[in-house]
Structure 1
Amino acid sequence: MRTPGNKIFKLLALSFISAFLIFILFEASAYYENLAGKKFQATGDISGVIKEEGQVLIILETDAGERVFIYWDQNTFELLKGVLSSGNRIKAIVKVIEGGVIQGISAQRVARVIDTRKISSSSHRHYAERIYPVDLQTLDLYKKTVKYFNPKLNERDVHRIATSILTYSKIHRIDPKLVVAVIAVESDFNVDARSVKGALGLGQLMPRTAKILKVNPLVIEENIKGTISYLRFCMEQWKEYPYMALPLALASYNAGPSAVAKYGGIPPYLETQSYVNRVMDLYQQLCSR
C-alpha cells in the first residue's frame, strides 16, 4: 500500500542529483559569491594545510572567529611555504574569484603579542587551544584508532588518514568518530580496497561519485575528502527526519539516496540493512570510549 510518506520520499528523489551538484559547488563559497573581484586582508592562525592537485587549501581561523578557506596555486605556495605552515599566524591578501572561491595573493607571518599579565593560570589551556588549533592528543588518538583497524598500515599513511579525517570532518561539520565507523565498515581502512562493483579506496567511492566530487579515489586524502563530502550530502537530505536522519543517511551512502526515497526508508536489501546496523553499532562503541 502506498503512503503519503512514500510520495514525499519519491519527490525528494527527483532533486537529488541537482542538489548534490549544488551542494558540492557552493557549500563552502556561498557566503562570498557576491563579492567576486573584491580583495581583502585576513589575519589569523593557520589550522590546516591540505594539498590538492595543482593547488593548496589553507584553513585560516581569523581573529573575528571566522573560518576562511583560502586556495593558493602551487607556485605561490612554494614561494611562501615557510609562511603558510600549520600553526603560523599570518596576514594574507586574498581575492574573491568567480563562484565565491577565495584565492590567496600574498602573505606574511606576523608575531603574536602575549601579555602574560592578562592571562590567568586557569585560562592558559584555553589560550593554547586558540594559538595551537591542531590538537595533538586528538590526532594521536585517531592515529591509534586507525592503526587498530588496520595494523598493516605504515606510520606515514596512518598520519595521512587521521589528519584527513579530522580536517575534513571539521570542514563539513561531521563527528570524526562517525567517519571512522563508516570507513572501518567500508574497507577496514584498506587504502587499496576495491569491491566487485568497482567501489574504490577507504570510503569505497564509486567512480561516478568520485567524478562528481572531483576527487581521485586512489589518493588517501582525496578519498577521505570525497567520503566525508558525500556523507554530509546524504545527511542533509534527511535532516527533516531527526529521529531517522543518521540511519537514512547511512542507507543513502550504501545504496544511494534514490533507493531510500523509492522505499520510503531503509531499502529491504540485506546488505544495506546490515551495513546500517554495523556502522551504527560501531559508532556507538566509539562514542562510549
Structure 2
Amino acid sequence: MKNIIALFVLATTLLSCSSSDDNATIPTVLQKVVFYRNSPNEKHWNINNDLLTNITLADGTVVEEFVYDTQNRLVTDIKYTNGVATETTTITYNANNIITSINGLPYTFNATTRTYAYSYGSNFTIDCKVNEDFLVVDFIRGGFNASEYHMTYNGADMTSFKKVANGSTELIKNFHFDQLYTNPLQNAVLAVARVKSLTDPNFFIDSVVSTKIAGGFDKGASDPYYYSHGYSSSTETPPNHSIKDFSIGVEILDSSNNFVDFYSFADYYYE
C-alpha cells in the first residue's frame, strides 16, 4: 500500500487514557460511519442492530431511511428533500428472497443467468446480472434515464466500478486490496445493496459491499493519480478494524508517489 501515514490527520479527537480506564469495556458495535467529513458530500450512515437504518446530513437532516421486515430484508426505501419525504420505493420478495416487484412493477429472475429483468411496457427496461450474493455485476437500463454500470469481484470483494453514460465511460474505480482489514460496514449494508443493485447502482461507488477495506484505488488510464487509503486508530496502530474506532483518509499521489492532496473518507464510531 502506498500509504504515507505521517500525513494522515485523524478526524476524531483522540482520548487520553488514565488508570481508571484500564478496565473499561471496549466498544464493539458499529454505530455510525461518517463519509467525506467537512466536505459538501458529508453523509452520516447510522447503524442499528447491524443494519443501515438511515443516512443524514451533518446537521442531522435525514436524506434517506431504510425499513426492514422480520427477515432483515429491505422493504421500504424513503428519500427526503429538506426533511420532507419525496420518494418511496417498496420492495417485495418470494420465499427464496428473490425480489419479485419494486413499486408494484414485476421483476423476473433467471436463475441460470442470474439476471433480473423488467420489461412490462414501461418507458424503461432493466437487465441486471448479479453475483452469488445478489449484488450487481452488470446493470443496463434502457429507455428513460438510460445508464450502465459494470462491476467486477474477486470473491466477496468488489475490485472495480464502472459507470457508463451516453455510450462513454463516465467513471472508473479500480480497488486494490493489498491489506486484509475487515470491512465492519459490509454486513449492515448488504440488504440495501441488493435492492440498490436494481434501483441505484451508484451506491457501490466506494466498494462499501466488500468484505475487506481496500488499500486504495485508481481511476484508470485517464487519471494519473493513485488514491491511497491511510488508516488511523484512536487506540492502536495498526488498528484492529473489527472492534476499534478508526478513520480512513485518502492521500492523492502522483505517478512518482509524491503527495498531492488529502481528504477524509470515513470515520467509524462504535458503542
Task: Confirm or deny a common fold (TM above 0.5).
Answer: no
Higher-strand-fraction structure = 2
After TM superposition, the score normalised by the length of structure 1 is 0.28
Of the two, which has the highest radius of gyration? 1
